[in-house]
Structure formats: structure tokens, C-alpha cells
Amino acid sequence: MNIHTIADHLNSLADNSDTGMSFDCQPISGEVDVLQITILGREELPVFVSVTDDQILCISYLWGADEVKTDSVGAMHESMLEMNIPMPLSSFSKVGDKYVIFGALSINSSFDDIEHELTVLSNNALEVIDDMSEYLV
């Protein structure tokens, strides 16, 4: 499994995906190859996928640290921790100065599993942004 096989599969689905989502995949070359996946209608929240020997990692960037109300950081972190377990297939992290939501799959996951994870992660990202809006400027 690599980003190119994932891209080929998702791009070939068109309107025939099990989740009802349409995907647009763009490989990004670098030290670690990354696949940028845009779900049509959600272009502002792409999911970035990388594949290692052990896992498939899916990340969506939510907001920058500079977008959090200064006096709300602690309360936001508390809310994120409380939301982490009941939120299926996704967890929070911070990469540099950006808050992210991510999920990981086995390298042996099926294409259906990958499509499902991408859809759930995208749905969760939208929900989190809505739920955390009171902490953002």
C-alpha cells in the first residue's frame, strides 16, 4: 500500500463511493511523500495521508494557535481532552503551531477502511471546528 495506490482507488470511485463522498487526490513529493485528499464540498479541510512501514496516517489541520482566544487556551484544551475518547477514529494533536485531528490505520487496511476513515475524519473535523468555535477568534 502506498499513496499512489490509495489515490488511484479514491480518484476512480467518482460517484460510486460507499460513503457518498467524492475525493480528489493530489500527491505531494517531499522527504516523506504525502497525499492531499480533498473531499468535494469540503475543500477548506483537506486530509493529508502518509504511509509508513507500519501505518497509514491521516491528518487534517484545524486552526492555528494564533486563532485561539488567549484567555481560552486552557478551556479549549480541556474540552478537546473530554471530546477525544467519544470521537470515533480520531484524536487531537498539535503540529508546530497548528492544531490537527488525526487517525491511523494498519498498513493492511482495505480500501473500504481507508475511505471510511477519511470520511469519519472529515466529519469529525467539521464537528470539532463547530464545537470549538467559542474558543476561536
Say which residue the cell 463547530 belongs to.
Answer: 130
What confidence tens digit (pLDDT) does each residue in 45-99 have? 999 999 999 999 999 999 999 999 999 999 999 999 999 998 988 999 999 999 9
Q: How far apart are CA 102 and CA 57, in angstroms?
A: 7
Which of the four pLDDT bands, split at 50, 70 and 90, describes residue 29? Answer: very high
Question: Which residue segments constitute the domains of the chain, with CATH numbers given?
Answer: 3-135 (3.30.1460.10)
By the 8 A CB rule, do 115 and 18 touch? yes
Q: How far apart are CA 102 and CA 85, in angstroms?
A: 13
Instruction: Please state whether the predicted TM-score (pTM) of the whole model is above 0.75.
Output: yes
Work out the burial of residue 1: count CB atoms within 10 Å of its CB; fewer than 13 is exposed, 13-18 middle, 19 or more buried.
Answer: middle
For residue 54, what is the DSSP state?
S
Please choose, from the candidates 128, 95, 117, 131, the residue with its C-alpha nearest in 3D space to the C-alpha of residue 47. 117
